[in-house]
Amino acid sequence: MTVRSAFQTLLAKCGQQFEWMLVPEYPVRRPKAMPLKVDGALLDTFRLAHGFWEALPSRLEELGPENSRQGYNHLDSSAEVAYD
């Protein structure tokens, strides 16, 4: 089992206690811009998002120069990020 699938299972199980469901590859719509896809989102029965999950690349160097601008420079390269 990869870290990604293990973390996905963990988030899905944790969301069940609030009756939230994890939707993998959740599209985030933005006005006047192309939609983004996050690795997952926790949604309630009204399809309101309560949290997003975005995994970091396996190597932070893959991010390029925007690495420090996005705040990834202080994280371990194998970290997963979940935020709301």
More confident residue, 24 or 2: 24
pLDDT confidence of residue 49: 92
Q: What's the average model confidence in pLDDT over 53-71?
A: 61
Range of the domain at 47: 3-83
Q: Give one word for 71, left, alpha or beta, with left for phi > 0 and alpha for psi -120 to 50.
A: left
Q: Would the pLDDT of 36 be above 70?
A: yes
Mean pLDDT of the residues in the chain = 78
Long-range contacts of 37-40 (CB under 8 A, 24+ apart): 39/4, 39/8, 40/8, 40/11
Give how many domains the chain has, as a whole number.
Answer: 1
Predicted TM-score (pTM) of the model is: 0.64
Calculate what percentage of the chain has a pLDDT beyond 90.
45
pLDDT confidence of residue 58: 60
pLDDT confidence of residue 78: 47
Q: Would the pLDDT of 8 be above 70?
A: yes
